[in-house]
Amino acid sequence: MMVDPEGFGRRLGDVRDRIAAAAARAGRDTGEITLMAVTKTHGPEAVDLAAEAGLRHIGENRVQEAAKKQHGVKAEVFWELIGPVQSNKARLAAAHFDRVQTVERAKIVRALCRACEELGRPELPVLVQVNVSEDPRKAGVSVADAPALAEAVRAAEHLRLEGLMTIPALDDDPDVARRAFAGLRELRDRLSDRLGLPLPVLSMGMTGDLDAAVEEGSTLLRVGTALFGERESGFSA
């Protein structure tokens, strides 16, 4: 799916305006907030376009799609896996991503750690994905089980825990997402105290709810549709 550079520039300006307005309402510095371009189903040119505009964090949902796409990307970017990790894809994920945001089970912790060891990778930054909304349709560890999983990540030789990620339940009531974001921030604060780690990354907020996410403390926004428009079909080299 080709991306129109002019349309992208206009949409990027709109997104940055939304972030600035939300940050102002919350008394936050926009320098604390990273905008990630989610490029799933788009080709390498979308990644290069985003990088040229200053968006160096690139989010991909599928390991194999990203691994294929990376061959055509010219820019130096920071690749983030924001889709589910299957244990049989852990080695591919560790080989092709700079950070994995979707650690939700101890099995994945072990698989990623083993993959890093096999690849000779000293350390892989990760986030723990938490299902704060307790939505059965969403992935993530429960709030109650998050501390044990965070402890497992910290104990893993080749993984570095940098923060938390969540996807709120889909709901017409915007307060549902806001409560999830606030809950993730509060959980991060508790875990940081418990583990003695800063956990600076709060990955929360997408196209439809990024304003509330910024107001509730997000440091990393995962935005695709608002930047590139509605998706049509999967990426094909």
Q: Where are the domains of the chain?
A: 5-224
Mean pLDDT, to the nearest integer, of 159-174? 92
Query: What's the pLDDT score for residue 136?
Result: 86
pLDDT exceeds 90 at position 60: yes
Q: Which two tokens stand for residue 221?
A: 């926004």
* CB-CB contact of 97 with 79 (8 Å): yes
pLDDT digits (tens, 9 = 90+) for 168-217: 988 878 899 999 999 999 999 999 999 999 999 999 999 999 999 999 99
What one-character-per-residue DSSP string does 136-173 give?
A: TTS-SB-TTTHHHHHHHHHH-TTEEEEEEE--PPP-S-
Q: With CA atoms as reference, report the closest residue to 83 among 100, 95, 68.
A: 100
- Name the residue with tokens 């997408």: 206
Q: What is the largest CA-CA distance in the chain?
A: 47
Q: Which two tokens stand for residue 56?
A: 């160096």
pLDDT exceeds 50 at position 234: no
pLDDT digits (tens, 9 = 90+) for 171-184: 878 899 999 999 99
pLDDT exceeds 90 at position 155: yes
37 DSSP β-pair partners: 58, 223
- Name the residue with tokens 């307060």: 175
Three-state SS for 203? strand
Please tell me the CATH superfamily of domain 5-224, with its number: Alanine racemase (3.20.20.10)
The mean pLDDT value of the chain amounts to 94
Three-state SS for 114? helix
* CB-CB contact of 180 with 166 (8 Å): yes
Q: Where do runs of H (alpha helix) occur along 126-231?
A: 146-155, 174-195, 210-215, 225-228
DSSP assignment letter at 220: E
Residues in contact with 160: Cβ distance below 8 Å, sequence separation at least 6, in sequence order? 123, 124, 125, 126
Query: What's the pLDDT score for residue 1?
Result: 59
pTM: 0.94
The neighbour count for residue 23, using CB atoms within 10 Å, is 19
Three-state SS for 34? strand
Q: Which two tokens stand for residue 25?
A: 């309402």
Query: What's the pLDDT score for residue 209?
Result: 96
pLDDT exceeds 70 at position 129: yes
Query: What's the pLDDT score for residue 232?
Result: 57
